[in-house]
């Protein structure tokens, strides 16, 4: 009965540990590919029209010229930088070719009085900006409904591209431009290609596989070591 319980425990838990290790190793491989893709796409500067011909418009280095629409800005709430809560400033931009896109200008700190929004200075005239194209992985999970005001700037809790485009009532490029540092209208950059580096996923994978190996060794000792001890006691 004792051996049956141990064997059942090992057989139930071992596939779980191995599965978790394989999943983390798979994530490690995905992050490596993503970082390599990011490096390759940043080696050349693209125009907005160049990205219209690609299937995956993420992580390209893009340069364009035009002007910001200072009257239409989204403030993405609850963005944390160095332990401080603030906003990502996302403003509508129109290129000289008439292309409209949303530009993530970076992070600004929130005010002590959370009922007040920070003042966002206007960017006057024509500018040349450089950044990287980006798309969110998916819609964020929210505990409550994300209510938007009818006034500008609009305080939002998550990125919802279709809703943002609908509120602007104009067709947009199907991606965001995240400004590089020291660009006209840019604030503090707070953008990461991956939220967890590949090395951490590899470390987690090693931990799960090590636990699986330890389980096999402990199970083997409990099953076969116990029998050896009993035989030794009987011989005495």
Mean pLDDT by 10 residues, the chain (236 residues): 74 88 86 76 85 86 95 91 90 95 94 84 93 76 68 89 91 93 90 70 88 84 62 49
101: β partners: 93
Closest CA to 108 of 150, 137, 73, 159: 73
Alpha-carbon span 5 to 26, nearest angstrom: 32
Give the model's pLDDT for residue 55: 83
169 phi and psi angles, rounded to 5 deg: 60, 40
For 122-144, give one letter per residue: b (16+ CB within 10 A) or e: ebeeeeebbbbbbeeeeeeeeee
pTM: 0.72
Give the model's pLDDT for residue 232: 46
Give the model's pLDDT for residue 87: 93
Here the tokens at position 125 are 């005239």
Sketch the domain layout of the chain as residue ranges: 2-36+197-235, 60-179
């Amino acid at each position: 009965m004792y051996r049956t319980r141990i064997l059942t425990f090992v057989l139930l838990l071992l596939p779980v540990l191995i599965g978790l290790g394989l999943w983390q190793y798979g994530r490690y491989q995905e992050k490596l590919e993503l970082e390599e893709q990011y490096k390759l796409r940043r080696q050349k500067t693209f125009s907005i029209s160049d990205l219209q011909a690609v299937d995956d418009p993420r992580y390209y280095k893009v340069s364009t010229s035009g002007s910001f629409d200072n009257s239409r800005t989204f403030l993405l709430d609850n963005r944390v930088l160095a332990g401080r809560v603030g906003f990502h400033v996302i403003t509508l931009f129109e290129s000289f070719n008439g292309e409209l896109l949303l530009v993530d200008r970076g992070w600004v700190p929130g005010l002590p009085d959370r009922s007040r929004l920070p003042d966002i200075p206007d960017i006057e005239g024509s500018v040349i900006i450089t950044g990287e194209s980006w798309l969110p992985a998916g819609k964020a999970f929210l505990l409550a409904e994300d209510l938007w005001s009818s006034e500008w700037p609009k305080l939002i809790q998550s990125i919802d591209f279709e809703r943002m485009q609908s509120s602007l009532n104009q067709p947009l490029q199907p991606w965001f431009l995240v400004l590089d540092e020291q660009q006209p209208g840019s604030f503090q950059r707070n953008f990461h290609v991956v939220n967890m580096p590949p090395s951490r996923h590899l470390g987690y994978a090693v931990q799960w596989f090590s636990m699986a190996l330890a389980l096999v060794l402990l199970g083997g000792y409990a099953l076969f070591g116990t029998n050896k001890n009993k035989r030794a006691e009987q011989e005495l």
